[in-house]
């Protein structure tokens, strides 16, 4: 129970990687806030039925008002915010295409959710974390930021931005005892990917061939790294990016 008494928000926590992270944090004793555009109530009820403290907040991470409301409702329910996991993002719904086939509207949508969403959620929680004497922000980036995968330039660029934001935020928030780190998964068989596998089978094959560990990656492979960054064991680690991809990218 490494997180007993802690309060964690997981954006995009209703399904896929976010849901697995939320379950992992709850299993370590944290009270969970599931923040998502859909499915939050069902996910929070599932945690509650398993004996965990959980709150559902239906939000759009690109909305300043929604992010402020997310924090207000969390504080009303649990008193504070100790951990924010910026997991909400767009990937599985994309159609891989060469970069000059991406229109500006699609580019903006990916950047709004994957980059602006991280900024707005982080900005919304820091005031409460400062009052509480510190906190943890864990951003979900991606191994594509280091490998430069083709056919999803907007996604690659957005995750590169998350890595850079993590470092800069860690510098700015260190004096507040707010630690900021990121976890960079490889190609993961999340719920969204499995529902759109016909678009991404080529990425799955390429990822498998490039790994030291020759198997598919699943959401459970990511949760442990997030828990580590939220837990006491990482109390002197900030500004770091942990790649979790079976040894595909080594640095």
Question: Catalytic positions, please?
Answer: 155
CB 135 within 8 A of CB 84: yes
User: What DSSP assignment string belongs to 85-144?
Assistant: EE-----TT-----GGG--HHHHHHHHIIIIIHHHHHHHHHHHHHHHTT-EEEEEE--TH
Kindly report the number of other CB atoms within 10 A of residue 42's CB atom. 13
Conformation bin of residue 247: beta by default, left when phi > 0, alpha when psi is -120 to 50: left
**Considering only CA atoms, which of 84, 92, 78 is closest in space to residue 61?**
84
| Residue 53 neighbours by CB distance under 10 Å | 16
Angle, helices 117-131/64-78, rounded to nearest 10 degrees: 30
Distance CA 77, CA 108 (A): 34
Token digits of residue 125: 């929680």
Helix (H, G, I), strand (E, B) or coil at 208: helix
Question: At CA 161, angle to CA 159 and CA 166, rounded to 5?
Answer: 100
Instruction: Give the residue among 218, 236, 247, 217 at the shortest CA–CA distance from 146.
Output: 247
Cα distances (angstroms) measured from residue 250 to each of 81, 147, 197, 234: 33, 10, 26, 21
């Amino acid at each position: 129970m490494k997180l007993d008494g802690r309060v964690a928000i997981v954006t995009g926590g209703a399904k896929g990687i976010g849901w697995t992270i939320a379950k992992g944090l709850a299993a370590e004793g944290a009270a969970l806030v599931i923040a998502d555009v859909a499915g939050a109530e069902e996910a929070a009820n599932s945690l509650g039925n398993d004996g965990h403290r959980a709150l559902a907040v239906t939000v759009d991470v690109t909305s300043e008002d929604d992010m402020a409301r997310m924090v207000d409702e969390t504080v009303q329910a649990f008193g504070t915010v100790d951990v924010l996991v910026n997991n909400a993002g767009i990937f599985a719904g994309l159609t891989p295409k060469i970069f000059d086939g991406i229109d500006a509207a699609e580019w903006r949508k990916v950047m709004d959710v994957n980059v602006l969403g991280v900024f707005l959620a982080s900005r919304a929680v820091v005031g409460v974390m400062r009052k509480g004497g510190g906190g943890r922000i864990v951003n979900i980036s991606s191994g594509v930021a280091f490998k430069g995968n083709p056919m999803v330039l907007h996604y690659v660029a957005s995750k590169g931005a998350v890595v850079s934001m993590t470092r800069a935020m860690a510098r700015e928030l260190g004096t507040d005892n707010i630690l900021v780190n990121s976890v960079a998964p490889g190609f993961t068989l999340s719920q969204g990917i499995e529902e759109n596998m016909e678009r991404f089978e080529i990425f799955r094959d390429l990822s498998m061939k490039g790994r030291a560990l020759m198997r598919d990656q699943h959401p459970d492979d990511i949760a442990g790294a997030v828990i580590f960054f939220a837990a006491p064991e990482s109390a002197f680690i900030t500004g770091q990016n942990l790649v979790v991809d079976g040894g595909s990218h080594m640095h």
